[in-house]
Chains A and B, each alone.
Chain A
Amino acid sequence: MFEIEVLTKEGFKNSRGEHVLSDIYGLGIEDITNVEYSTLYVVEGDISFGEIETIASELLTDKVAESYLIRRRDAEGNSEVISKFSDTKETGRLNHNFSVIEVWYKKGVTDTVSESVIKAVKDLGIAKKIKVKTGHKYHLYGKILQKTLLNTVAKKLLANTLIQKYKIH
């Protein structure tokens, strides 16, 4: 199982992250100083590393404004980075304090984007049976972010808890 994270390249505006930050300030929360948004795709199936690289670079990433990281994920949700586009932000993050909130659809909720991705993978010429799951990832920067504060942000701004679940880490 592979996880692809699509990030905004350095020097390009992360509009969604900035929008979320502005909404966070609107809640009266000032502990969070920056938000970076990225999109997550989990691809499951009999698929090779070369094919997943093609899917990440040719389909899921806008070569001009975005970069990507590919992680291999096991059934328990543990993951390790196995490939990355040259200028991803991952290394820059090492020097900062941040928390991560991931938002995913709950089981049984239709993921329309995943259906489109499966169609587009076939168009790419990859004729494998795959399952795709899509999610959203928010890096929230700030000195020490309390879990209660992160829960508030997740519930009030990032996840519709009727159809989505969120994970803080």
Chain B
Amino acid sequence: MKKVKTLILRTAGTNCDYETQSAFELCGAVADRVHINTLIEKKNKIFEYDILVFPGGFSYGDDIASGKILSNEIKNKLGDEIKKYALSGRPIVGICNGFQVLVKIGLLPDPKFFKQIFTLSCNDSDKFECRWVYLKVEKKVRRESNCIWTKNLPDVISLPVAHGEGKFVSGNEKFLDNLNKNSQIVFRYSLKDGSEPEYPLVPNGSIGHVAGICNKKGNIFGLMPHPERYVFTLQHPAREGFNDRYGWGKVIFQNAVDFVI
């Protein structure tokens, strides 16, 4: 059987790379943590991999704004390669700080434009918010969206969040309408029964309670919560999960690995 190769891009301040590597390995993939300087030296190395991951952390200390310095570096030094990789249809995921990078590079919501349309700004509370939250996986999304990452999930799952800048906002209402129309909003913060939440279960004040989006084609996925922190039931405060062993975060990584196979 083909071994799926995953590239986990790291830089100064990345701190979720080991957990993400471990999650992909649990799903049967080979996962390498690669420093951005290595990739800048050997730009075509990226095409040796089937899946690209922008992990969570505090790249460059969140200086200027979260993900800003890394997205600036990628866009100016690896822009052509990253865009080509994204348009090839290979799976890409950005988790937390990685989501901020994807949005600021412009890979989300559409790599064809390669332009920033949305942003993830400071939480309404102006504080770092760290807790378990519920996420509604829109029914429509599971049936109609092309998102390869969110298949086989129940209607509501829980995942932990930990961020200071996760408020999903747009400068133009039309852009958000397009996301809705194209079933690109895959995760929204919710209550346990899937109904409308309030703070603190919406940790940041995101418009439409948006927690994760994908591109129209479904291969690129960004989310603020951390699925790599919930691959085993033991990681959940109430020991919930499936098959008495795994957490719902595992399903997200498994979906990408199975897609490549």
Contacts and interface: CB of A to CB of B under 8 A. Distances in A.
Interface residues of A, number: 23
B119 A65 contact: yes
B146 interface: no
Given A59-B68, A64-B169, A113-B63, A123 B77 contact: yes
Interface of B: 60-61, 63-65, 68-69, 72-73, 76-77, 104, 116-119, 121-127, 167, 169-171, 205
B69 A15 contact: no
Given A62-B119, A112-B63, 9 more contacts: A13-B122, A15-B124, A15-B126, A59-B64, A64-B116, A112-B61, A117-B63, A123-B77, A124-B76
B123 A15 contact: yes
Given A116-B64, A116-B69, A120-B69, A64 B119 contact: yes
Interface in A49-68: 58-60, 62-65
A71 to B, nearest CB: 19
A65 B169 contact: yes
A16 interface: yes
A116 B13 CA distance: 12
A18 interface: yes
A64 to B, nearest CB: 4
B118 A64 contact: yes
Nearest to A116: B63
29 contacts: A9-B171, A12-B169, A13-B122, A15-B123, A15-B126, A16-B122, A19-B125, A59-B64, A59-B68, A59-B72, A60-B64, A62-B68, A62-B116, A63-B116, A63-B119, A64-B117, A64-B119, A112-B63, A113-B63, A116-B61, A116-B64, A116-B69, A117-B63, A120-B64, A120-B69, A120-B73, A123-B69, A123-B72, A123-B77
Interface in A82-122: 112-113, 116-117, 119-120
Contacts of B104: 62
Interface string A112-153: 110011011001110000000000000000000000000000
Contacts of B171: 9, 63-65
B170 A64 contact: yes
Contacts of A123: 69, 72-73, 76-77
A123 B73 CA distance: 6
Given A59-B68, A116-B64, A19 B126 contact: yes
Given A15-B124, A64-B118, A64-B119, A120 B169 contact: no
A12 B121 contact: yes
Contacts of B76: 123-125
Interface hub of A9, A119, A123 (most chain B Cβ within 10 A): A123
A160 B76 CA distance: 36
Shortest 4 CB-CB distances between A and B: which pairs? Answer: A116-B63, A19-B126, A64-B119, A15-B126
Contacts of A13: 121-122, 124, 167, 205
